[in-house]
Amino acid sequence: MSGPYEHPYPNPELAETHPFVPHDHRRHTDAEIVTRARAARDRMAGRRSVRMLAPDPVPLEAIEACIEAASTAPSGAHQQPWRFVVTGDADIKRRLRLAAEEEERTNYLEQRMNPEWQEALAPLGTDWHKEFLEIAPWVVVLFELRHGHHADGSVKHHYYVKESCGIAAGMFVAALHEAGLCTLTHTPSPMAFLNQVFERPRSERPFVVFPIGHPLPGTVVPDLTRKTLDEVRTLVGPPPGDASG
C-alpha cells in the first residue's frame, strides 16, 4: 500500500489475525461522479410518505431484497443490531392497527402530544386513524437489538444501536423507493405493544413501522417544499485541491 498514511489500515498484526479482502470499487471520472450523484438526487426527490396505500399484492422477494439492501448499512462494531419483522397476515395486521390506533387516539385526542407537536403535524393532516397498517399488503417493523448472545448464551453487547438502526432504516426507505414501492415511517408512541403483537423478546425494541405497497389511484400528498442546499449544507474551509485561498 502506498500513500500519505503513516498508519495504514489494516496494520500487519490485525491482518494476520482477521480476514481482509480487496475492496471492489470502480473509480469514475469527476464528471461521471457528478452525473451519478445528481441522478440519485433526482430519483430520491420524488420520494414521498404515502398514507393511502393500495391492497394490491407486492412480491415478497422485493421486500426481502430491500431488507438485504438495508442490511448493508454500517453499524457499530459491525454488530448489525437490527431485525426486520415482516408480515402480510391479515389477522396480525388487524391486531397491529387496533393496537396502534388505541395509542394514537390517546396521543391526538387526550393531548398526550402537546399542542406544539400537534401544530407541527397539522400540515400533514395526520390523526389517530391508521388504516394503512391493515390495508397495505406488507408491514415491516424494524426492531433494534439491544444486545445479542454469544454461543455459550452469555450477553453480547451491541454498540451505537440507535444510530445503526437509523442508518439501516434510511437505506430501507431508499431501497423501497428504488424498487418503485411506497411507504411511510410510522412511529406510534409508546411502541411496546409491538413486542406483543409480533411476539418479540424484550431484548428487541421497536424502532419504526413501515407499511409498504403501491399508492391508491388518485393518491395525493401534502404540497411541501424541502430545505434548500444552503439551508442544510455548511462548507467549512476551501474544497480539497483549491489553491485560491
User: How much is the mean pLDDT over the chain?
Assistant: 94
pLDDT tens-digit series, residues 98-120: 999 999 988 888 888 888 988 88
Domain total of the chain: 1
CATH number reported for the structural domain that contains residue 118 in this entry: 3.40.109.10
Does residue 61 sit within a domain?
Answer: yes
79 in a domain, yes or no? Answer: yes
- pLDDT 10s digits, 193-231: 999 999 999 999 999 999 999 999 999 999 999 999 999
* Cβ neighbour number for residue 177 with a 10 Å cutoff: 17
Q: Residue 231: what pLDDT?
A: 97
Residues of the domain holding 87: 48-214
Cα angle value 184/185/191 (rounded, 5°): 135
Residue 39 predicted with pLDDT over 80: yes
Q: What is the band of 239 on the pLDDT scale with cuts at 50, 70, 90? A: confident
**Exposure of 56 by Cβ count < 10 A (0-12 exposed, 13-18 middle, 19+ buried)?**
exposed
Query: 188, 226, 225, 220: which is closest to 207 by C-alpha?
Result: 188
Q: What is the pTM of this model?
A: 0.93
65 class by beta-carbon count within 10 Å (0-12 exposed, 13-18 middle, 19+ buried)? middle
Q: Please tell me the distance from the alpha carbon of residue 87 to that of residue 170, in angstroms, as a whole number.
A: 20
| Residue 7 in domain | no
Would you say residue 131 lies in a domain?
A: yes
203 within domain boundaries: yes
pLDDT in tens, 139-169: 999 999 999 888 998 999 999 999 999 999 9
Q: Tell me the backbone φ, ψ of residue 112, rounded to 5 degrees.
A: -65, -30
**Alpha-carbon gap, residue 73 to 21, rounded angstroms:** 18
